[in-house]
């Protein structure tokens, strides 16, 4: 029973470690970053933003490790992984 408990605690610690590896996002000047949400057990993050010209519409895209930039409708996002 002790071994199974150690495996479960190790899995929870691994997930917490992976969640702490958030990317740094630099938004273009005409967009506002609203938030980020971790997706599932992996290292993917959902970036939620709005355009300053239309703040009532929330838009999003997903980033994964290894991505350094993203283009959305002519806007260039910079992504920094630590």
- The predicted pLDDT at position 71 comes to 93
Average pLDDT over residues 8-13: 75
> What does the alpha-carbon distance between residue 44 and residue 57 come to, in Å, rounded to a whole number?
23
Cβ burial, residue 53 (10 Å; 0-12/13-18/19+) = exposed
pLDDT given for residue 82 in this prediction: 77
Which range of residues forms the domain containing residue 42? 2-80
> Which of the 8 DSSP states describes residue 23?
P
Question: Is the pLDDT score of 2 beyond 90?
Answer: no
Quick: pLDDT tens for 16-72.
665 568 899 999 999 999 999 988 877 889 999 999 999 999 999 999 999 999 998
Number of independent structural domains in the chain: 1
| pLDDT for the residue numbered 43 | 82
pTM of the model: 0.75
Q: CA–CA distance from 70 to each of 11, 16, 18, 40, 63 (Å)?
A: 31, 26, 22, 21, 8
């Amino acid at each position: 029973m002790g071994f199974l408990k150690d495996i479960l605690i190790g899995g929870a610690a691994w997930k917490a470690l992976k969640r702490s590896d958030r990317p740094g996002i630099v938004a273009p000047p005409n967009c506002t970053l609203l938030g980020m949400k971790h997706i599932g057990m992996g290292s993917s993050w959902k970036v939620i933003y709005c355009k300053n010209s239309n703040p009532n519409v929330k838009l999003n895209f997903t980033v994964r490790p290894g991505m350094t930039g993203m283009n959305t409708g002519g806007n260039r996002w910079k992504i920094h992984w630590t």
